[in-house]
């Protein structure tokens, strides 16, 4: 591992740059007890599982057929509403995220995105937060590539496409298995819990913002 300060920082999207809230899309449109069950960690209606299929590159037209077969017409209509109004599940950027990107860019450090996201809904992130397109040099989207974190190939793809050196790059993700995936290919990686700690972690590597 290099002792030199990093030259590039790669960010996950949801939970790191963007506040993703499934309930923000559903509340007020469906009964609250149903919303609570859908958004529970154990997700008995499979929203997260089927969304993960989309993140891996499956088209919604295929996913909704499989979803309907498993959960029936009524829940399929709810899932269709959710995907069709996906932008409503993105209420804001993570506090301080935009400022962190701006400070990194001013310091001459490259900033990039690497997200597990459907190719059919990724546009909502940039529609809602167009400044991201200006502040990120590029973004790898799992659904567009047909691979997703923590598959080591997607990290290697990011490094190849963006011209990154693994041990001079830092990766932030809010999911531990994705952090471990980046570490496995030699990137310096941290589990993201907030911008303040991310700044401390970057400083520990020699980044001066």
Of 6, 15, 9, give the one whose Cα is nearest residue 173.
15
The residue ranges of DSSP E strands in the chain, in sequence order, are: 8-11, 18-19, 92-93, 110-115, 139-141, 169-173, 188-191
Q: DSSP string of 51-88?
A: HHHHHTT--HHHHHHHHHHHHHHHHHHHHHHHHHTGGG
87 pLDDT exceeds 90? yes
Taking residues 167-189, report their average pLDDT: 97
pLDDT at 1: 59
pLDDT at 3: 73
Taking residues 144-170, report their average pLDDT: 97
For the stretch 129-145, pLDDT in tens is 999 999 999 999 999 99
Walk me through the domains of the chain, giving residue ranges and CATH numbers. 8-19+93-204 (3.40.50.1000), 22-89 (no CATH)
Note whether 137 and 105 are within 8 A (CB). no
Cα 138 to Cα 161: distance, rounded to the nearest angstrom: 9
Note whether 113 and 17 are within 8 A (CB). yes
pLDDT at 2: 61
Of 13, 18, 11, give the one whose Cα is nearest residue 89.
18
pLDDT at 99: 98
Q: CA 177, 143, 140 angle in degrees (round to 5)?
A: 70
């Amino acid at each position: 591992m290099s002792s030199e300060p990093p030259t590039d920082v790669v960010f996950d999207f949801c939970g790191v740059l963007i506040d993703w809230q499934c309930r923000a899309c559903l509340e007020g449109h469906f009964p609250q007890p149903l919303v609570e069950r859908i958004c529970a960690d154990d997700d008995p209606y499979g929203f997260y599982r089927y969304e993960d299929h989309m993140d891996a590159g499956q088209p919604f037209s295929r996913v909704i057929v499989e979803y309907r077969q498993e959960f029936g017409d009524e829940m399929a209509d709810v899932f269709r509403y959710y995907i069709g109004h996906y932008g409503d599940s993105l209420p804001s950027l993570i506090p301080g995220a935009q400022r962190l990107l701006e400070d990194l860019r001013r310091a001459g450090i490259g900033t990039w995105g690497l997200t597990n996201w459907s190719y059919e809904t990724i546009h909502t992130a940039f529609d809602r937060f167009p400044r991201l397109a200006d502040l990120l040099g590029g973004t790898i989207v799992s659904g567009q590539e047909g691979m997703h974190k923590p598959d080591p190939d997607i990290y290697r793809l990011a490094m190849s496409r963006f011209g990154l050196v693994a041990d001079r790059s830092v990766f932030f993700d809010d999911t531990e298995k994705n952090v471990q995936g980046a570490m496995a290919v030699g990137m310096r990686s941290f589990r993201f819990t907030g911008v303040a700690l991310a700044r401390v972690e970057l400083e520990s590597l020699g980044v001066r913002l």
